[in-house]
Structure 1
Amino acid sequence: MKQLVIFDLDGTLLNTIDDLGTATNHALATLGFPKHPISSYPAMVGNGVRRLLQRALPSGLDTDENIGKMRAAFREYYDEHCTDTTVAYPGIPELLHELQSRGIKLAVASNKYHEAVVRLIGHFFPDIDWAVVSGHKDGVPTKPDPSVVFEILTVVPTPKLQVLYVGDSGVDIETARRACIESVGVTWGFRPVSELKAFYADHIVSSPDAILALTEKDINI
């Protein structure tokens, strides 16, 4: 029986792609660079804001100086508009409430900067008693480095066999592998099923309901 479920945020709990893409395009336009269609952004996200901006900049212009300017413009815009079009995926609020009612602890581990993660979780899931909400902090490696998972386990000491990690990308599956935690790849997020398979997700699910059954059993990693 699982006692703790750790969720990725973008592409797993929330569909944030339109707001992320719009904020990035705003930053690009601010610096005079061409914008990208929103449909191109699912392939750019997942490794934190710095990597997103680096990917969005024209080839050869992804310098530290340009990324720094882009980051300032991105954050100023995103901080004001991060909930404009973002929505929870269908079935996610119900899943979280059911897990909570079963006494399972819930946590978030995201590569998005911490302040935005806290704001989004508070906005969309205000009635969930999260054990830990953790976004990226300066000086801490981003996923797939497992540091964020170890931070959560420090706050919520739980045997790894009783922990489930849920995400939508190869980054998430690799994070769980490095932390020696059972992984669940979701198909409704930003990455294709082929990526989840390539990173050897322990489970791949196409609906939030399927996660409930996985909390009821243990496997050996």
Structure 2
Amino acid sequence: MNNYMEEKRMVIEAGKTMLNSGLTVGTWGNLSVRTADGKYIVITPSGVDYEKITPEMMSLVDMDGKLVSGKKPSIEAGLHLGIYKKREDVNAVIHTHSIYTCAVAATRTDVPAVLDEMAQIVGGGIKTAKYGLPGSQELASNCAEALGDRMAVLLANHGGVCVGKDLKDAFKITNVVEVSLKSYCLAKSIGNPVALDDKDVNFMRDFFLNSYGK
């Protein structure tokens, strides 16, 4: 059986980057990738320090949520699986507990597309999913519903989730979201941020997907 060592090492390094970038603290947050064959996800194990995770500890989980190998998976494995099942375009999921993401999530409000970067990278504003207890099916369902076809979502009173075609893409989106939410909080402190028109959002998103860098 394929031991998916490349995917495991990739997620381990990404976890360290997430921790050292201030996108989470302690053992909070989690990351996963879908294996190339589409049969499994590789996800960070529950309660293990990101600096101490080894490939043998990494959790390999099938698409029904059954642990195939490694340690007990993150409590949010169901949330990751829910996204993968609804989004064929998604091959990586990052759940963060970064400062501005958590601050806005605590307000339980949606964030309109107030910056060009949000339109281009996220696909518009960022919705906040209805509250659900950590690790619950309710949270997983609420997350997938609020995410829709966009690349980021907030979890009420919890944190954020960003998705991508691969881990590099998901990390780029994660960083754009945190900076955008920092800017949004600062803008709220001095005035009322003005949302972009839908037609401009759609134009920028289409340009980014189909023309940018090509």
Asked if TM exceeds 0.5, the reply is no
| Structure ranking higher on relative contact order (CA contacts 8 Å, 6+ apart) | 1
Category of TM-score, reference length = shorter chain = under 0.3
